Structure formats: structure tokens, C-alpha cells
Chains A and B, each alone.
Chain A
Amino acid sequence: MNIVDATDRTEKLDEGEAPSLLTIILDTNPHAWALLTESLSLSKAVANLLVFINAHIAINHANRIAVIASHAERAEWLFPALARSQKDSHANGVHGDGEDMEMQDGEAADSDGPSLPRDDANKYRPFAYIEHVLLSNLRRLMESTTADALSSTPATMIAGALTLALTYISKQTQALPSATTSAQFNYSDATAVAGGNEMSGDGAKSQASMGLSSRILILSVSGDLASQYIPIMNSIFACQRLTIPIDILKLAGDTVFLQQAADATGGIYMALDNNSRAGFLQYLMFAYLADQAARDHLIMPGEGEGVDFRAACFCHRRIVDIGFVCSICLSIFCEPLQDNLCLTCGSHLSMGNYGQKPVVVPKRKKKKRRALADGGADTPASDRGTPAP
């Protein structure tokens, strides 16, 4: 197979489309999926997702895929598979008996990832491989989920999954264009990937654009992510810097931040309701399959809708649209603080003009009138002075 791919076609492709890396974050929170069983079960969703993944792989032979499960209490790789030994030690750590961390190296060497799938002449081998790895990892993840672990956390680890995806993307991006050392160093100066390559000379820019273009797709089913506000925001800004769009397909629940993520990074946000959920695959294929280059020429769904930009307060994790902000550390609080001490930075905050009536028009009129009728007799008492802003 490889031989076939490596014939004269490669040359042509290299000039044309850059390969793209699609990182899918699958929210596998069992609570949320349980609520969706009538309209779209997890197994059905995964089956549809696999079709979508195959389509992505089929578009360009160099396209890559990564799948991360954002589970109830941890985020885990579904594809590519972890090397065995670390996964075992990780799973053990989650179960709470962290004693047998020591792993013999022999085991890691001989079983590098899960066993290969049975050869099937009717299936393109990369498809079969991805399907096998993804399903076996997902099965293992579900089996290792205990009931008490679930009862403790109803949330999902989107922030962790995003961060994992970003580290993976950054490594892949570095590795792909026969990276010069300068390109490797570049991203740490933070402007490099976001068009800052002019710093090191304009020549580098064209090279970077030929490299891997990445995007992240989040299939979200659970709500409330307010507890992960800061890490999610950090990830969003990282994506913004690296020009990685975050696409969101919302199957259920309501999260403010994911919409902001899609908006800030130029991704697509769509929320499916009970009726449209059955067309999951169709939505995936029509809205999310196009890569960044193609999106320039398409009218993408979800544009022209309002975006909810509310924030989560730091004190109670409430979502607020009017908040109190510490001018020193920019923490958001939902109500005036009791003892005037910022909960985050501890500095003393005077509440200034809270509760003061807004500056309204009549006051201005007074000022005007006084200026006009300066020598006039019946000027209203002006000893109050102009209101300070």
C-alpha cells in the first residue's frame, strides 16, 4: 500500500494541498450520553464518527487524525494509542492503588500499542486500523470507569482534552515541515506561529503555511464547564495564537465557553436539538469536513448568530453578565465583596462609586444652563460642583 502511495502522486500533492490534522475531542461523559439514548446513543455516534474520520483520511493521503476522550474524570487518548506501559500505570493511578507503578520495559517493547486488527481484504487498512484502535481504547476506557468515580464528578475534562490536543498538535506541527532548528525555537516566542514569522525573515512564512494545518473538533454532550473556566480560556488563546480553529458540535447541554471558543478561533459552532440529532453524520460531513483552506470559499453554518460572551465569576462559578472586576488582578466576582478584599490577590479594594446613581442628563443641563446664564438670577444652587466621572 505504501508503495502505491509513494509513486508519482506524492510530488503532485506536495505542491497542492497541505495535509491537515483533525483532532477530535469526544465527550464521553456517561451521564450525558445516558440522557441521549433515545435519539443518539454513544455507539451510534461513534459509528457515525468513524465514517467521518474515514472521510477525512480519504480526502488527502497525508491527512492525520487524533481522537481524545474527554471522560468524566480524566481525558484520555483514543487514537493514536498510548504505549502500553504508561497506560497501565496511568490506569492504575486512577484506580487509586498507585503502588505498582514499576513497569518492566520488556512489556513496553513487545506490545507497542494494541494488537493489530485482523486483515480484511475489503477494507482500506488505515480505516480498519483506526477503527480497531479507537474502539478498543474506548471499550477499555468504559470498562475502567467505576460507578463511584462517576458519581463523584458529573463534569467532563474538556480543558484537559484541549490541552492534550494542543500539545500533540504542536509536536506534530514541529515535526512535519522538515523543521529547521529555528522553526522549533520559534513558537516559544509566541508570535511565531500566529504570523510572527516576519520576525525571522519573510521567507519563513511561506514555509510555515505549507506545513500541517490543524483543527480541533469537539463533540460536546455535557453542560456546565464553569469550574474549568481559566484552563479552557487559556487553551482558547493558545488556539488563537496558533490559528487552530475549534469546531464545536453540541449534541446536548449548554456551555457558554465552547461557543466563545468557536467564535474566538474562527471555528464552527452548531447545536443540535432532539430532532436534528438523528442527522448527526450529515451534520458532520457537511459542516465539519471542509478544512481551513476550503472554508475560505464556503459559507459556513453558524455564522450570523449571536454569541454568548458571559463570564464565570471566580467566587461562586456563576455565569454573570455584570460582574465586579478587581482592577489589579482582573478577577471577576458576581457580587460586591464583603470585606473589600480581593479573593484572588488579597488587595484592598474600595468599592468606589458602586450604588451611585448614573450620571443622567438633568445634571448636564444644569451645567449648561449655568454656563449660559452665568450672570442670571435664578441659577439653581451650584455648590455641588460637576459630577466626577
Chain B
Amino acid sequence: MADSDHEYSEQGSDDDIPTRNGTGRAGAPRGRAMASRPKGRAQAKWEAAASSNWELHEGADGSIEGVLGGLEEAGKRKRLLKDTTPLQRGIIRHTLLILDLSIAMIEKDLRPTRHLLTINYTVGFIREFFEQNPISQLGILGMRDGIAIRVSDMSGNPNDHINAVKALRGMDPKGSPSLQNALEMARAALYHTPSHGTREVVIVLGALLTSDPGDIHDTIKSCIKDRIRVSIIGLAAQMHICAEICRKTNAGDENSYNVAVDEVDYRELLMSITTPPVVRSTDTEAQRRNQAALLMMGFPSRIVEEKPTLCACHGNLTRGGYLCSRCKAKVCNLPATCPTCDLTLILSTHLARSYHHLFPLRNWVEVSWARARQKGSTQCYGCLAPFPHVPAAEERSEHNGTRAKRAEGASESSRYECETCQNHFCIDCDVFSHEVVHNCPGCQSSAHLPGAEEEANGVEGESDAMAT
């Protein structure tokens, strides 16, 4: 599908997952090679990732005492310093997670076993997925004995999935997996999903084989036709067919196939899928043809009634529910479509959960000692934790020597500054604000934002802040 757009899509997804690409391979010429055939590559992706991890350790390892704290902070920040450029993302997602339940999952290279670890991680994945994509749908399939089995149906309720996945604990992995069967079943499950949502399949594959009843290439073709994107996480080694599936279903982009190096890597790979996918230009064109992009929605309020009345959706007697904003029909659960007037009814809180993808909090910058002295900050603006003391000006040169060894990304003064409100924060608040609250405590607590005002006045406060 639309081979002319390789350049664009590669660009887009590079921005999407910079943590993997930034360290993995910064090679320029790969765009072309990737689109045609992955064979010419010098090094497999996971090998590159592994070796670059190793380099990172060596590079920063000067003296241990100073570096350790820095490494920890740098690690925390590395996760933070991702995309703050807003990209268009498919926020209404329909995702099928396919777990390998074949004999290969008994392997103990990931502790305790691949199977148990996968179940644990999947529970976390489900929670995170619905946290990040509240109006999306998820379904779970399994591959064992050469067939695909349905673990849980497409639904928007995380607890259903979690219970179903937990029930897998008692089931021993058996037989061999079949990618074709799994993909076909996923395709059938995604067949009815509306066109304004994405259709995604995530496969966790522990085995190094797939035992298929027919030609998997036909299945891949029909997946492409159905706009299904497949991403695969391998647990053992790279397989050509997986790379091919991912490449073909993602418009030539191969970043969606990854092999987990260890437990941590596995978890990161799985969790990175919870971020809504970037919408590619080809997709938008398809979307434009298919759907009205401005949806009319109702935000009904909940009512409680003295006497039970019938709900319009199921005809059950309920006390209370939600009244459709347009026709006042009573529905018992949200999100729903009003059975009477066909209005989409949704809780505004469902929508609001996705806003932080829309308005990401800007990354905070490291604070040099000079800047810390200038601002005179002695404690974190958010949590009131004290900062390390600012050394006097003359001590500075000597400090420079040791501080230079702190890992890249960590601030020498353990302070991090929001450029908008120019307040200083500790690393914990930095992580917390960017990953959990998505608010800056400083910007929200003051009507006067020096950073924003400077920017508005055209003063070069921005460059100042960058320099320090």
C-alpha cells in the first residue's frame, strides 16, 4: 500500500520512539535499505541495542561515587526526554494482543519463565493501555497447539482482560504457534471496528517457528488490505517472517518488530505500545475518505432516581443512569451510543485522559550551579525536598572536575528547571510531573510566568535559559 510514502512514515516513527532509535542506530543510509530488504544490514537490531547499552556503561564509568547517583538520574530522565512535539496520533484504537502459549514459552531465559513473565507484564500492559487509551478497545488471543485461541473478547473493560490473562497462569504452554491462524482470527475480530479507529495487532512471540496451515503471505496481504498494523515482540531471536509481516503492514517501517534482550527491555517494548500510534499520511487520506472527522458527542450527567425505571439500552429496571443530552433517554453505562437518537455518549473524563498526549508537558532543562545560584533555589518547588547546597563561587572550578563525570542527562546541581515558570524541581518531581500528572506544578500555581512573559516580550530569555 502506497509505496511512495516510505520516507514520510519512517520520519514519523523515528520521532515516535526515539529512545530505541537514538541509542540503537543513528545510521543515515538505512532508510533505503530498510524499504527494500533487511538483509544488507550489518547488525541485527537487538544486537545493536545490546552493544550500545554496554557502551553506555563503559563510557560513563569514571569514578563510581559521583557517577552512580548521576546514572540513576540520567536513567530516569532518559525515559522522560522523549517526544514533546505533538504528533497526530490514533487515539481511538482497536488492538488485539496475541500471546504465544506454545512450548517455547517454558524457556527460563526470562525469569521465572517466559510464560509467567509474559502474563505478569501483560497485566501491567492492560492497565497501562487503558490508562493511556481510555476510549480504545482491547482483545487478547493466544497461540498454542497450532491454532489460535480466544483469551478475551474485544472490550473496553480492563478487568475482564486481566482476569482472563490471570487465568492463563494455570494453563501450561503447549504445542507450536501459528502466526497465520492468529492473524486470521485477529483480522476477523477487527473486521467490524469503525474506520476512524486504528486496527492494531501486537504479537508476543517466544517461538522461532510458525506452523501454518496455508500461505501466510496471503494473510499478510489481507491484513494490509484491512489496514491492520502488526507489531511483534520477539523473545528469542529475529525471524525473517516477523520482520516481513511488520514491514509490510506498517508501510515499510520496520521499527515495530523488536526482539527483547532481557526482562527490562521486554517490559519497555511492551509498554511503548501503549502510546497511541502516530497516524501516517496514507492513513489520514484513507480516513478522510471514510469518515467525518468532527464527531458530535454528548456528555451526559449521572442521575439518581427514587424509583427504578427502564433503561433505553437494555430494558432493565435501574435506579439511576445517564440521560442522553439530546433526547433524555436513559442509558445505564457509558460510553455508549444513545439507542434513541444515535448520539455518541461519553464521559468527558474519558476524553480528558488523552489530553496529555495532545498537550505534552515540555521537558525541563538541567540547571547549572551558576543558574542555581542566580535563582537561589534551596528546595524543590513541588515537594519541598531540600536541594544540595550551592557551592560558593570560588569552589566552582574544583567542582567542575567532579561534576563533569556525572552521567549525561543528569543535572550537576540536582535541579531541573521548567523554562516557562523558571522554578526548580528535584528529579523525582521531574519524573512524576512528566509521567503521572502531566502538569508543571510551577506553571499551574502562578498567574505570572516569567518564562512565558519573556517569550512574549521577545526578550531572549529562552536562549539564556538554554545557555545556563
* A residues lining the B interface (CB < 8 Å): 72-77, 80, 82-83, 85-86, 89, 93-94, 96, 98, 101-103, 105, 108, 152-153, 157, 159-164, 166-168, 170-172, 174, 184-185, 187-191, 194-196, 198-199, 228-231, 233-238, 241-242, 260, 263-264, 304-311, 320-333, 336-337, 340, 342, 344-345, 347-354, 358-359, 389
Contact = CB atoms under 8 A, between A and B. Distances in A.
A98 B447 contact: no
A73 B447 contact: yes
Nearest to A181: B72
Given A191-B128, A234-B355, A330-B91, A171 B429 contact: yes
A324 B440 contact: no
B436 interface: yes
A167 B386 contact: no
Interface stretch (B55-63, B179-187, B213-221, B298-306): B298-306
A98 B296 CA distance: 47
Contact of A237 (B121, B271, B352, B426): B352
Contact of B444 (A105, A160, A305): A160
Which bucket holds chain B's interface residue count? Answer: 35 or more
Given A75-B445, A163-B441, A344-B358, A307 B377 contact: no
B131 A307 contact: no
B436 A76 contact: no
Nearest to A108: B378
The majority secondary structure among interface residues of chain A is: mixed
Given A82-B379, A327-B294, A190 B435 contact: yes
B383 interface: yes
A229 B179 CA distance: 45
Interface stretch (B140-148, B243-251, B285-293): B285-293
Contacts of A233: 349, 352-353, 355
B127 A306 contact: no
A348 B326 CA distance: 26
Given A74-B445, A187-B436, A238-B436, A309 B382 contact: no
B432 A166 contact: yes
A175 to B, nearest CB: 9
Given A309-B348, A330-B351, A168 B446 contact: no
Contacts of B124: 189, 191, 196, 198-199
A54 B301 CA distance: 37
Interface string B368-385: 000001111111111111
Interface in B345-404: 347-349, 351-356, 358-359, 373-386, 389-390
A163 B299 contact: no
B88 interface: yes
Across chains A and B, which 5 residue pairs bring their CB atoms closest together, nearest first?
Answer: A352-B292, A160-B445, A167-B382, A311-B348, A160-B444
Contacts of A83: 378-379, 384, 386
B346 to A, nearest CB: 8
Nearest to A319: B299
Contacts of B6: none
A230 B382 CA distance: 19
A322 B120 contact: no
Interface string B106-130: 0000000000000011011001100
Contacts of B431: 188
B21 interface: no
B156 interface: no
Contacts of B304: 304-306
Contacts of A324: 294-297
A98 B300 CA distance: 47
Contacts of A159: 439, 444
Contacts of B131: 190-191, 237, 241
A135 to B, nearest CB: 19
9 contacts: A83-B384, A157-B444, A170-B432, A171-B383, A190-B436, A233-B349, A307-B301, A325-B297, A330-B351
Interface in B402-443: 425-426, 428-429, 431-433, 435-443
Interface string B258-282: 0000000001000100000001000
Given A75-B446, A167-B441, 10 more contacts: A168-B384, A228-B444, A234-B352, A306-B301, A307-B301, A321-B300, A324-B294, A326-B293, A328-B293, A354-B292
